Structure 1
Amino acid sequence: MVRNHSISGKFIQTCVGALVLLLALGEVGQAQTKSPKRGLAYGYHSAADMQALAPGISWWYNWYSRPDAGAATIYPGLNVDYVPMQWGRDLDGSAVTADRLATNIPAGAKYLLGFNEPNFRSQANLTPTQAAALWPVLQEVARRKNLKLVSPAVNYCGDCVTENGTTYYSPTQYLDAFFAACPTCQVDYIAVHTYVCEERWLRDKIAELKKYNKPIWLTEFACGDMPASQITLAVQQKYLMDAVNYLEKEPAIFRYAWFSGRNNEIPNINLLGASGQLTALGQEYVSLPVNGEPGRLIPVATRASSQESNATGAANATDNNINTRWASAFADPQSLQLDFGSIQTFTRVQLSWEAAFARDYQLQTSSDGVNWTTIQTVVNGDGGVDNLTGLSGRGRYLRLLGTRRATTYGYSLYEIEVFGPATTALRTASVSASNSATTLDLYPNPAETQLHVALSGGARLRSLTITNALGQTVLTSAGPAAELTIASLPAGLYVVRATTTDAQQLTQRLVKR
């Protein structure tokens, strides 16, 4: 398949650190399942390629409606889904029809991806009206095969389609026109591509699409929007780590796919070398942690030396929400202090910085909140994700002490995640072992009218909150209610957050049909 894209410091720990971390987790690491979100945009797999990638990806697509021959017989047994796509107006050299497309789609498929970059004249090259006129073919196939439909996959472009005097440069511009031309069309998910090189710009691209209140598939991403000479392996590794950390924790993201396995359009993007051999970048992508890692320690209180506003308080950095943040006053030094309620052992800390990050900072521990011991010093940090492994510290308190800002603004942190040894429970020692493995279960999911809620491990429910993809609270319930009526909620992606009677915070994604 020929494709033609129009694509407009230091590591705190390298990808090797991520691999060492997984090995160090021992039994806990082995119990960790791979991410249901993580996938790959790639064709031409060999069987050995698929076997190498399978431990870390749950799905892939190849811009076509049949899997590539090398992987066709092996992927079902590796717990990897194939997702078919109808690339454009044609299929195998002639106009697509429902009969021919349905014949191509293999048994077991659950989704059908829409047109590939239709606003690019060099790609699917469909105006919004043309795409809308062709969409009923995809709907008919979805009906026959019981598939969910993913929207046309749009991207910012240069050489774009034009219709009625309008040139469709942006994803939302195109999708708005597509939905206007096809108001009753079935679209269950939104798809987008982006080749930005910083996590903050990736956030912006995803935020633009949340207005549709549908789960989002990021079906192509890599660092590509900078001069090729600047896209070193280290730059690509850094962006991959930052982006995956965000995508795993972003509730609006249903699935994401790196571009690509082997490709020479963008420097240093390949996950595969020789057949069945992962590159350094491939090892990183396969081994990066999944959201909800075991061993995380949950503080009982979080406080800071200052906050920029009422909306950026200290608790935002420990609320398990990647879209809220703590931001300090615009001065040095500043600190963020976590109280775990009892003495803990700290072996790893992961910091997810906003654009206003710390250039220099220290991690410190204390048993009394007065006397502090430094366990890690970072000089000339580069923001994004700082994954600090191999720590050896004990205390009731952990403090992040920022001593030099990278910008004129304050310190701004989306999330600080603290982990103990491999045998550490999910919560602090004050929580009983039976409750440390508590999970929140929703069924059915996707749901249409009624949602049943269950907690494992003997935990009792205190309250429930449901928020939409914009972060707005749309439903709350107090008490031990085990069933909610959600018929009035618009179709889309939601986050259900449960609080237990022993103060555990549990979250789960919900797809409302």
Structure 2
Amino acid sequence: MARFNIVTGLATSLIVASAAADSWPKRGLAANDDIPIWQFGGSWNGYSSEVNWQYNWDSTTSQKQSFAEYVPMLWGTSSDHTTQWFDNAWYWLDNGGSGHLLAFNEPEQSSQSNLTPQQAADAWRTYMEPFVGHAQLGAPAVSNDGYEWLSEFLQACSDCNIDFVPIHWYNDHTLESDLENWVNSICSLSGRQVWLTEFQAYGTVDDQSNFLRSAIPFLDDNDCVYRYAYFGTADNSEVLLENGGPSLSPLGVQYTFSAYGSGDGPN
């Protein structure tokens, strides 16, 4: 059993067990390699971790966890990403237990991978299509400003073998219904399963905790949603960790150990 240094007093300190735990949890971690994530496995007070996948916006990692599938990502089309892509992706598919691949981070934004829908479709055929039959393949991951971009990409890549659609969501903690509408709109647009690979509610720790009380059950119970990762184990957001880790924060405990379909964490 992993050991945790838990800070008590969070508003959502009591766990509520779901009637039946799902056999394939959806929760994951978007974690840079310098962020310690090993305590997100194991169990706490009799509740098993719901975290079973990880990614790091890169195509290889130095901190693969035994409890999680590592999912390589081709962040963008610059040579520092593409020159190592095939070697790394094949390594993790053949030797690392990976079964999924992610492509192109927020291409609709100039500060991110910055691709037009047509450029992304052309690159997807070059760098993702060769893995058809070897892995489940994700579309480019747009944030919640990217509906039109994604719609154009899916048209430009209508001949592509895309298995799932990753998306992001960032908004105020009072707008949980907006998250639900965003996810459902992409499910309807693409007709594919959705991965919510980044999402975060802006607000205090208690605000975010209350947000997760509603968001986690929605995501767990939505058949269109295959996986999700709260944004809290990245270099610019460590809200799931206590003082930079490795101990989990109360919010991290809530996210990790709330039973499937429940947004409440153990005390």
Tell me the TM-score range normalised by the shorter chain: 0.7 to 0.9
Structure 1 partner of 2:223: 251
Q: How far, CA to CA, are the matches of 2:129 and 2:92 in structure 1? A: 13
Structure 2 CA distance for partners of 1:275 and 1:235, relative to 1, 3 Å: closer
Shift of 1:148: 0.8
Q: 2:257 aligns with which of 265, 278, 287?
A: 287
2:50 is matched with which residue: 53, 56, 62? 56
Which is greater in Rg? 1
1:220 aligned partner, one-letter code: E
Kindly state the Cα deviation for residue 96 of structure 1 after the two structures are TM-superposed. Answer: 4.1
Aligned to 1:241: 213
* Residue matched to 1:177: 152
Pairwise mapping of residues 306-325 of structure 1 onto structure 2 (< 5 A)? none
Higher relative contact order (CA 8 A, sep 6+): 2
1:201 partnered with 2:178? yes
**Mapped pair 1:120 → 2:102:** no
Quick check: 2:100–2:135 contact (8 Å CA) kept in 1? yes
Q: Distance in 1 between matches of 2:219 and 2:38?
A: 23
Give the 3 Å change call, closer, same or farther, for CA 99–190 of structure 1 in structure 2.
Answer: closer
In structure 2, do the counterparts of structure 1 residues 238 and 121 end up closer, same or farther at CA, with 3 Å as the change threshold?
same
Does residue 105 (structure 1) correspond to residue 92 (structure 2)? The answer is yes
Identify the residue that residue 14 of structure 2 maps to in structure 1: 17
Structure 1 pair 185–101 and aligned structure 2 pair: CA distance change class (3 A): farther
1:147 pairs with one of 135, 153, 157 = 135
* Equivalent position to 2:197, from 202, 210, 219: 219
Cα deviation, residue 208, structure 1: 1.4
Contact 2:54–2:69 (CA under 8 A) maintained in structure 1: yes
Q: Normalising to structure 1: TM-score of the pair?
A: 0.44
| Cα distance change, pair 81–103 in 1 and its aligned pair in 2 (3 A) | closer
Q: Does 1:192 align with 2:145?
A: no
Per-residue deviation, residues 465-493 of structure 1 (Å, max 9, x unmatched)? xxxxxxxxxxxxxxxxxxxxxxxxxxxxx
Q: Distance in 2 between matches of 1:143 and 1:207?
A: 26
> Superposed, which structure 2 residues align to 1:382-401 within 5 Å?
none
Query: Runs of 5+ in structure 2 lacking a partner?
Result: 1-9, 43-48
Deviation at 1:97, TM superposition (A): 7.0
Q: Secondary structure at the match of 1:155?
A: coil
1:182: Cα distance to partner? 1.9
Contact map agreement 1:241 1:288 (CA 8 A) in 2:
no
Output aligned runs, 1:65-80, within 5 Å. Answer: 65-67=59-61, 69=62, 71-72=63-64, 75-76=65-66, 78=67, 80=68
The alpha-carbon deviation at position 36 of structure 1 amounts to 1.8
CA contact (8 A) 2:32 2:235 kept: no
Aligned-pair identity in percent equals 30
Q: Secondary structure at the match of 2:178?
A: helix
Secondary structure, in 3 states, of the residue corresponding to 1:195?
A: strand
Residues matched between the structures, number? 243
CA–CA distance in structure 2, aligned partners of residues 94 and 34 of structure 1: 35
Per-residue CA shift, 1:363-393, capped at 9, x if unaligned?
Answer: xxxxxxxxxxxxxxxxxxxxxx8x7xxxxxx
Gaps (5+ residues) in structure 1? Answer: 1-12, 157-169, 225-230, 294-384, 388-513
Residues 1:201 and 1:59: Cα distance change in structure 2 (over 3 Å):
same
Bigger fraction of residues in helix: 2
**Secondary structure of the equivalent of 1:58?**
strand
Determine the C-alpha separation between the residues in 1 that align with 2:220 and 2:90.
34
Provide the secondary structure at the position in 2 that maps to 1:39.
strand
Are the counterparts in 1 of residues 74 and 85 from structure 2 also a CA contact under 8 Å? Answer: no
CA distance in 2, matches of 1:96, 1:219: 24
Q: Give the counterpart letter for 2:31 in structure 1.
A: Y
CA displacement, residues 437-492 of structure 1 (integer Å, 9 cap, x when unaligned):
xxxxxxxxxxxxxxxxxxxxxxxxxxxxxxxxxxxxxxxxxxxxxxxxxxxxxxxx
**1:272 is aligned to 2:250:** no
Check 1:141–1:260 CA distance in 2 against 1; reply closer, same or farther (3 A cut).
farther
Instruction: Map 1:23-34 onto structure 2 (within 5 A).
Output: 32=21
> TM-score under structure 2 normalisation?
0.80
Could you tell me how far apart the structure 2 residues matched to 1:210 and 1:193 are?
13
CA distance in 1, matches of 2:249, 2:24: 20
Shift of 1:262: 4.5
| Aligned-residue CA RMSD (Å) | 2.7
Could you tell me how far apart the structure 2 residues matched to 1:125 and 1:104 are? Answer: 27
